[in-house]
Structure 1
């Protein structure tokens, strides 16, 4: 994918026949007993994602600081998103299923990992079933499917302020807010990319730099 809106995606499992059955039982038939298992798989993938990002951070040169750190202060950098968000479903799908599986997965992950969860997006149109479409058709369908939620910009601004609290020396280091976007299945990445573009555009409009990472339950 050229110029995708997210930095990287990690998926917990392959979308094989067994996972297709499990996710289908949960998503379409409302079998709640699958929720803890699927959430646990996502949490495991998130932990692997953190380790990968921490390794990448450890290889980067340290950022300039206002004072010389003592050995006790020279701790390894730890990657941690500022908040978790999720791909929304349409009102019709919500009425049909009774819940948004991506939101449930995001909430389970956020609770387990003590991360804030924010409702940033809304689905403008009820897209038809994606599984029968070609890659090009999926990308075209998703172009205008999402918009920022009514409180989305305010939430982004609040996250930015929280991540830029002054240090004990009264200095705030400029940095992007890092968001983790959750969905259940990654096929072409067009849904996540469309969602990401809406979030990045909202941040750009407010002059707030945003870095987006995506985490999905299964990779098709």
Structure 2
């Protein structure tokens, strides 16, 4: 190997130009500082109006969605950043179950941008949806807490990861109906430090809003503990 080739190899290690996009997994040269290629960045499935003003899910026409017309959610309002497409589902799956915790930087940045553009909320504290201690030991981290930290760092709001705990080990929510999810979550959450949320507006963070059962149960116990309002902000939403 000549001197030029050695120099190029060293520069490629220090400043990689041909790395894989976190979404399409293709090795290309136009990766941005968030690890996404230009094509994927342009095609990012960002949610745009019309959306339900209560749960934040996309709707065909302006106005409240059919679910929210019949369900009384405890939270004030929910907003999600992305459609839960197969590509986004796979990315979140890698983040949660593949131990790829560094993805929180990119996913958190997308949440920051959406929060600044779409969430006209005054919040006092950020609370992530907690994992049961057994599940958190299995995964190594709470994905919602990592997203909450990224958001809190950018918008300057304190993140409290200790105020809300998951005291009941529940079966996974995936595959359950809305009613089954609600039953599964009964008695699952507890507020350990009511003084941390009393008379405050709480921003509740989770990765995916599906039926809303998890964030609604969390909202209920936070309000019972004295929170003034609870807003919900999630990375993706899907049915």
Cα deviations across residues 47-99 of structure 1 (Å, max 9, x unaligned)?
1233xx3xxxxxxxxxxxxxxxxxxxxxxxxx421111110000111110010
* Greater per-residue helix proportion: 1
Cα deviations across residues 173-218 of structure 1 (Å, max 9, x unaligned)?
xxxx211100001000000010011110010xxxxx5111000011
Give the count of matched residue pairs.
Answer: 168
Where does residue 143 of structure 2 map in the other structure? Answer: 101
Greater RCO structure (CA 8 Å; 6+ sep): 1
Unaligned runs of 5+ in 1: 54-78, 161-176, 204-208
CA–CA distance in 2 between the matches of 1:32 and 1:102?
Answer: 11
CA–CA distance in 1 between the matches of 2:134 and 2:98?
Answer: 16
CA–CA distance in 2 between the matches of 1:97 and 1:219?
Answer: 22
Does the 8 Å contact 2:168/2:188 carry over to 1?
yes
Unaligned runs of 5+ in 2: 1-67
CA–CA distance in 1 between the matches of 2:118 and 2:125?
Answer: 15
Q: TM-score, structure 2 length as denominator?
A: 0.67
Q: TM-score, structure 1 length as denominator?
A: 0.73
Q: Which has the larger radius of gyration?
A: 2
CA–CA distance in 2 between the matches of 1:137 and 1:35?
Answer: 30
CA RMSD between the two structures = 1.3
